[in-house]
Every structure is written in C-alpha cells, then in structure tokens.
Amino acid sequence: MLVLGIETSCDETGIGLYDSARGLLGEALYSQTALHAEYGGVVPELASRDHIRKTLPLIRQVLAESGQRLRDLDGIAYTSGPGLMGALLVGAAIGRSLALALDRPAIAVHHMEGHLLAPMLEPDPPDFPFVALLVSGGHTQLVAVTGIGRYRLLGESLDDAAGEAFDKSALLLGLDYPGGAALARLAEQGRPGRFRFPRPMLDRPGLDFSFSGLKTAVLQVVETQRRAGTLDQQQRADIARGFEEALVETLREKCERALAETGYHRLVIAGGVSANLRLRAELTAMAERRSARLHAPRLRFCTDNGAMIALVGALRLAAGECTPATIETQPRWPLEQLTPIPLLIHGVG
C-alpha cells in the first residue's frame, strides 16, 4: 500500500511517501522558523497561509523524486490533530480533496501517534510493549504502549511542556527563537554544577511533570545576575547547562519510574526534544543499567514530519480504517481515544 502523508499541525510543512512493502520512499520538510522568528513564537494565521503556499509544491517534489505519480497512490493520510486549527485545516482540506479527486481512501492521523510510532521507520523498530516518552514543544507525556492504538497515559505535564520550557528559558537568556536547540548548544559551553535548579516533582510519587517552576527559577537567576552586572556569556552558558541538566534529570527519573512500574524493558523517546543529545545519552545509560533498550527515531524524524504521518496512515488504512469524506480537525485529541489495530507492517529505514 502506497500512502502519501501530509503534516501541517504547526509551523512545519511535512510530506512523506510510505510503501507497506518497500518502506519510506521519500519525504520533504519545510520549516517556517524564519517566518516566525521576528515575533518570538508561532503566529497561527501566518503558519496557515504558509502551509497553503508550500504543501502542494512539496507533494509534487516528493512524488517526482521517488518516481511515483498521484494515480499510483493507494491512500492519503493527513494530520487531523492535535495542533493549530487553521494549520490543521490546510492539510485536511488538501488531503481530503486529493482523496476525492483520485477516488482513494483517506485517513485522519493523530499527530502524537505519528511521533510515538516514528521509531518504526528505523531498520530495527521496537517490539511491543514499551514505554514511550513523548516530549515536544506542546506535549510531555509518558505512555504505556501494548500495541498500535493501545495506549495508556501514565503521566503528563501539568503546565509547560518540556520543549516550551526550553524555548522560554532560551528567551530569558537572550537567544533567538526557536531557542531549544540554541540553548542546548550554549549549554555545551557551561560549567557543570555552577547553577543547580530544582528537579520538579521528583520529591513526590507519580509520573506527572511540571516545568513552570523550573522556568521561574531560571528567570530569578538571570535577573539576579543581570542586576549584579555579571550576566556575561559564560554565565549564560552556565545557566543553560544547569537548566538542561535539571530538565534531563527529571525526564530520566520519570522514565525509570515508568519502566519499573510497567515492568517493560523497552523505552521509546519521540518528539522534538528527543533530538537533545544530553537527553539521549542519559536515557541510554539509564536503560543499560536496567537491562533495557532505548529506541529513538533518527534526528530528522524527531521534529514534525510527513514520514511519520504516512507510516501511521499506511498502518491504519491497511487495517481497514477510513475517515468519512468530511473536512474535520481535532485541535485537542486524547491518544486514548484511538482505535486499536493489529500490527500488519513494520517500518523500514
């Protein structure tokens, strides 16, 4: 089954082409970072308009580069939520229109299920069951996964997501938007132990997260250093290092608790923050200590992308699912509402 995937949930336009027998045939991604940088964050109306400009050209590009034609497609998959309403509507409208014009089935895909299953695009995908850490700008969740569509929420952020805390702390340090990756680079120059920030909610049981207090602690330190006239480049790097260490340690500890609670021996990390190298290193070491294994998508599939949407679309279309011929989106959409399906195909890198 050859499936086209369309991802337009926020500020990246992603297109993927996945074949059930041959794996990923092609993908392309356009980032709106430069468009939103001057505003310090995503402007929903601008994001929607840019998706309109970029989606069809990217579809043509991916099809041409993979040697496929529109009429070769067996189905269309598009992100239906969660995300920005206007941005989601662009992908849904284009996906549904293509499906109607080609007389092919279409499937509305859950954005976070795409991230959760993105490691199946790798040559050695994880077996079920596993614990998944979904960590991005909008979500921080721990999920017990026993099959496709069989998800049990173990814990989630009660306020800021981890990626949001990264970006807001980067802004406090004077870094350009989006600041998460820039903060991580700055932290590499920081001195360990110079600043120790709180590890939120590690002093109590449970698997929920809270990062607003960590962000506030960074704000207080930055203001103190600025008033003292000592906020130079090295101090910024030391603060970035302290922040990153606190956030990564919190995520690592909660993941270890989740593995202990479930008894599982596989951990999946996905979402934009899963590209953080310190987080990957810490989780890899923790997993090895527990005789467990860490699975993560390659770096380009950590952020929003069309490949993961095409993969999920292929899985669900092959299982007989099909979305009615209406253009609907779900800006809020709990993972637990998804329908379980049997695993019919595996990802191929």
φ, ψ (nearest 5 deg) of residue 14: -120, 135
Q: Could you give the percent of the chain with pLDDT greater than 90?
A: 93
Average pLDDT, the chain: 95
Q: What is the structure's pLDDT at 33?
A: 92
**pTM score, whole prediction:** 0.94
What are the pLDDT digits (tens) for 7-44? Answer: 999 999 999 999 999 999 999 999 999 999 889 889 99
What are the pLDDT digits (tens) for 161-193? Answer: 999 999 999 999 999 888 899 999 999 999 999
Is residue 211 over pLDDT 70? yes
Give the Cα-Cα-Cα angle 334, 338, 344 (nearest 5 degrees): 145
Q: What is the structure's pLDDT at 177?
A: 83
What domains can you pick out in the chain, each with its CATH number?
A: 2-117+301-337 (3.30.420.40), 128-296 (3.30.420.40)
- Cα radius of gyration (the chain): 20
Cα(first)–Cα(last) distance of the chain, in Å? 17
Could you tell me if 301 and 272 are in contact, meaning their C-beta atoms sit under 8 angstroms apart?
A: no
User: Whole-angstrom Cα distance, residue 4 to residue 195?
Assistant: 47
